[in-house]
């Protein structure tokens, strides 16, 4: 999984971490992260495996506070060679299904970085709508700043 995310983050500038930020991430840290993401009732991660390789992953995290239990957040990463094959759509469909089965979830949220039109198209296709903007929230490698957009899908 660590090799996958390092490769994915090197293929696009739209993931929140750059490959060099993963370089010091140890396998022990990765194990802790994966256990937290997969082995508790408030989050779940799925991976798409193609020919024995991780093509993509998608994670959903459920809010636990009394006033926020109706909310979940989702994130996705997919290697470039697997873009436009419907994998992202299928992973999102599964996360939406999981959120719906939980019963108390009324909305799923995500953020995306300005300029990521491919992701925005996927999110809008899945029923997400822009609800806000964080101006200059992301500093790109070239030093420029771009907005981060918040999106919500009502269930």
Model pLDDT for residues 88-119, shown as the tens digit of each residue: 999 999 999 999 999 899 999 999 999 999 99
- For the chain, which domains are there? 2-154 (3.40.630.30)
Flag the least confident range among 3-7, 33-37, 47-51, 75-79: 33-37
Q: What average pLDDT is seen over the chain?
A: 93
How far apart, in whole angstroms, are the C-alpha atoms of residue 77 and residue 27? 19
Cα separations in angstroms, 63 against 68, 79, 100: 6, 28, 14
Do residues 97 and 109 touch, judged by C-beta distance below 8 A? no
Do residues 37 and 59 touch, judged by C-beta distance below 8 A? yes
Any residues with CB less than 8 A from the CB of 142 and at least 6 apart, and which?
none
The residue-averaged pLDDT of 43-59 equals 95
């Amino acid at each position: 999984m660590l090799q996958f995310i390092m490769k994915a983050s090197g293929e696009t500038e739209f993931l929140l971490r750059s490959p060099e930020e993963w370089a010091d991430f140890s396998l022990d840290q990765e194990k802790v992260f994966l256990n937290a993401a997969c082995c508790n009732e408030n989050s779940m991660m799925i991976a798409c495996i193609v020919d024995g390789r991780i093509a993509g992953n998608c994670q959903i995290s459920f809010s636990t506070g009394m006033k926020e239990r109706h909310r979940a957040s989702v994130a996705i990463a997919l290697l470039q060679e697997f873009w436009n094959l419907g994998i992202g759509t299928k992973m999102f469909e599964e996360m939406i299904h999981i959120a719906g089965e939980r019963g108390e979830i009324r909305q799923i949220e995500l953020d995306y970085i300005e300029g990521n039109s491919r992701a925005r198209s996927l999110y809008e296709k899945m029923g997400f709508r822009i609800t806000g903007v964080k101006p200059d929230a992301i500093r790109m490698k070239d030093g420029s700043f771009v907005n981060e957009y918040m999106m919500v899908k009502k269930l």
